[in-house]
Amino acid sequence: MAKLWGGRFQKNTDKKVDDFNSSIRFDKRMYKQDITGSIAHAAMLGKQGIIPVEDSEKIISGLKEILSEIEQGKVTFDIDAEDIHMNIEKLLTEKIGEAGKRLHTGRSRNDQVALDIRMYLMEETKEISAMLKHLAEVLIELASEHTDTIMPGYTHLQKAQPITFAHHLMAYFEMIKRDIDRLCDCRRRMNVMPLGSGALAGTTYPLDREFVAERLGFDSVTQNSLDGVSDRDFAIELASVLSIVMMHLSRFCEELILWSSHEFSFVEMDDAFSTGSSIMPQKKNPDVAELIRGKTGRVYGHLMGLLTTMKGIPLAYNKDMQEDKEPIFDAVDTVKLCVPVFCDMIATMKVRKDKMRDGARGGFTNATDMADYLVKKGMPFREAHGVVGRMVYFCIENNKSLDDLTLEEMKEFSDCIDKDIYDAISMETCVNERKIIGGPAKETVKRAIENAKAQLQQL
DSSP string, 228-268: HHH--HHHHHHHHHHHHHHHHHHHHHHHHHHHTSTTT-SEE
Annotated catalytic residue within 23, 129, 277, 385: 277
Amino acid at 31: Y
> Do 388 and 380 meet the contact criterion of CB atoms below 8 Å apart?
no
Buried b (16+ CB within 10 A) or exposed e, 306-340: beebbeeeeebbeeebbebbebbbbbbebbeebbe
Buried-exposed string 76-98: b where 16+ CB fall within 10 A, e elsewhere: ebeebbbbbbbbbbbbbbebbee
Rounded distance between C-alpha atoms, residue 173 and residue 140, angstroms: 7
From the list 41, 129, 156, 414, the catalytic residue is 156
Q: What is d(CA 361, CA 338) in angstroms, rounded to the nearest whole number?
A: 34
d(CA 403, CA 385): 17
Annotation says 134 is catalytic: no
Sign of the CA dihedral 399, 402, 407, 411? positive
CB within 8 Å of 133: residues ≥ 6 apart = 180, 456, 459
Fill in the amino acid letter for 138: V
DSSP secondary structure, 170-229, as one string: HHHHHHHHHHHHHHHHHHHHH-EE-TT-TTTT--SS---HHHHHHHHT-SEE-S-HHHHH
Contact 208, 48 (CB under 8 A): yes
The burial of 393, by beta-carbon neighbours within 10 Å (0-12 exposed, 13-18 middle, 19 or more buried), is given as: exposed
162 contacts 360 by C-beta, under 8 angstroms = yes
The helices-and-strands tally (H runs, E runs) of the chain is: 19, 6
Q: Pick the closest to residue 424 from 458, 393, 384 (CA basis).
A: 384
For 379-410, the DSSP string reads: --HHHHHHHHHHHHHHHHHHT--GGGS-HHHH
Active site residue 168: no
Provide the b/e sequence for 178-194 (b: ≥16 CB within 10 Å): ebbebbeebbeebbbbb
| Active site residue ranges | 156, 277
